[in-house]
Amino acid sequence: MAKYKPSALSNEHWFLGSGNRTAEFSAYKDEFSTLLSPIPEEQTRELEVRIKQIRSWEYWSVLRHIDLVKTDRVLDVGSWSTFAPLLWMADRAEFVWANDNGQFSRGAETSGFLEWWHALEKYDRRNIGLLTRNVSELNLDEDRFDVITSFSTIEHIDLRSDPDADTKASLNMFRMLKPGGLMCGTIDFGRPEEGEPLVRMYDVDLFHSKIVEPAGWRYVSRPYPVDAAKDVRSAMVYLLTK
């Protein structure tokens, strides 16, 4: 089963652009670029901003904590924008399930998600599967996954229709994770009153009351915010276990 890798950079609010953080992040970005290289050039250009630049720092802030082994089964929630991390985890785990409902606040419809999936098929990865359903509605076996990841997704789930959708998602992810497994990812960090129509904002207290406490998660380490730059919205990194 995957293990948590402590890091000296944890448990502090830090910015990316300095010292060893930049060097370590650059190594991850290089690996992401290598993983993405089979995509045709025209698709690479279209994916460049969305996949390589905007969120690579966010992926790295979580993945550097995960020590996957070849017997691990992974569920990634909100996979439409996590192309490189899926490949990164598939290189290290037995199987990775990509989960998303295919509907996005930016106006992308299900067809956009399927186009993304067809691009992924170019890698001929037999250990990546697709689950196109809201994570709250996944009716999979209990204790199925060794690791569940979710990058900036929980704050968007059914925001318009259900104020408790984030808690329901957390409860179902808890049910599907094996005891001792890792649930890790990022979530938008800030004052809750600054939330937008399509984005919840969480401080540490709201994250605990909406995500952690109802399901019974245990903290692996204290959640901490991380920024790509001082003018970019913070994301809070969390690492939980069952």
Mean pLDDT, residues 167-177: 97
Predicted structure pTM score = 0.84
Mean pLDDT score across all residues of the chain: 77
Confidence band, pLDDT 50/70/90 cuts, at residue 170: very high
pLDDT tens per residue across span 7-16: 544 444 444 4
Look at residue 120 and give its three-state secondary structure. Answer: helix
Distance separating alpha carbons of residues 63 and 28, to the nearest angstrom: 9
- Give the per-residue pLDDT at 240: 95
pLDDT tens per residue across span 213-231: 999 999 998 887 776 555 4
Confidence band, pLDDT 50/70/90 cuts, at residue 199: confident
- Give the per-residue pLDDT at 241: 96
pLDDT tens per residue across span 18-71: 444 566 667 777 777 677 666 555 555 555 545 444 567 778 888 888 889 999
Q: Which CATH superfamily is domain 13-241 in?
A: Vaccinia Virus protein VP39 (3.40.50.150)
- Of the listed ranges 95-109, 142-156, 187-201, 214-228, the least confidently predicted one is 95-109
- Give the per-residue pLDDT at 27: 73
Which string of DSSP letters, residue by residue, matches 40-107? -HHHHHHHIIIIIITTHHHHHHHHTTEE--TT-EEEEESGGG-HHHHHHHHTTSSEEEEE--S--TTS
User: How do the domains of the chain map onto residue ranges?
Assistant: 13-241
Greater confidence, 14 or 1? 1
pLDDT tens per residue across span 106-117: 444 444 556 666
In terms of Cβ atoms closer than 10 Å to its own Cβ (0-12, 13-18, 19+), residue 183 is buried
Percentage of the residues of the chain whose pLDDT score is greater than 90 = 32
Q: How does strand 73-77 pair with strand 145-151?
A: parallel
Q: Which of 12-16, 79-83, 129-133, 206-210 has maximum average pLDDT?
A: 206-210
CB distance 72 to 1 below 8 Å: yes
- Give the per-residue pLDDT at 173: 98
Cβ contacts of 20-28, under 8 Å, gap ≥ 24: 24/60, 24/64, 25/56, 25/57, 25/60, 28/56, 28/59, 28/60, 28/63, 28/64
What SS3 string covers 212-237?
A: HHHHCCEEEEEEEEEECCCCCCCEEE
CB distance 144 to 135 below 8 Å: no
Percentage of the residues of the chain whose pLDDT score is greater than 70 = 65
